[in-house]
Amino acid sequence: MAAFCSAFPFLTQSEFEGACQDLADRCTSAQHIDWSAIRLLTKPDGTSLRITKRVDVPSPLEAPALDLEESQEDEDPEALVRAKPQPSLQIDYDILLSPTYQVPVLYFGLRWHNHGPLGLDEVYQYVVPEQYRQQLKSVGVMGGISMGYHPDSGAPAFFVHPCNTADAMANIADAQNVTPGSYLLIWLGLVGHCVNLHVPRELYA
């Protein structure tokens, strides 16, 4: 029987790493999930989890070129054959344990294929569903989206601030019945849906 969280609504480092392993194992066993990849990232100072997802949305960087070719393609019977594939938006989500708040924190970055990283405006346009935009901009129940340096890579990254995570978890979960694995799934359901990272139903089995 899995042990319950020892300091709910917080996680210890060992509990967090066990939860990451559990989620990775669930993804390995599940089928038909819409995540492109999931992998554990192990370093001497701890483990984190990376989830990669691709979203097919029109790229503003490609729009001018497509507009210029539109009239020619309308008259060209081979246009569909020669059309360039729609570029996809790649989002890399990294789940780490905050040493300050002792709760998971979600870092993420996004980029188009063959283009560099994008900014906060694109995050709200292409990643945050419309119904959550105002909530995140005004620092909602799970904290707003901030920009900082990734703790592992040192590169600029976006993250959902973890300041309200412990209170949110305490309000929705029963401390007596939460294992580290179920904690991570509940937390991911809270944070992920705000940034287009939906938890596949198969992972709750």
Q: Which residues are catalytic?
A: 163
DSSP per-residue letters across 33-99: -S-SEEEEEEETTEEEEEEEEEE----TTTHHHHHHHHHHHHT-TTHHHHPPPPP-EEEEEEEEE-T
The CB density around residue 106, as the number of other CB atoms within 10 Å, is 25
Distance separating alpha carbons of residues 198 and 57, to the nearest angstrom: 17
- The residues, ordered by sequence, that sit 6+ positions from 77 with a Cβ below 8 Å of its Cβ are none
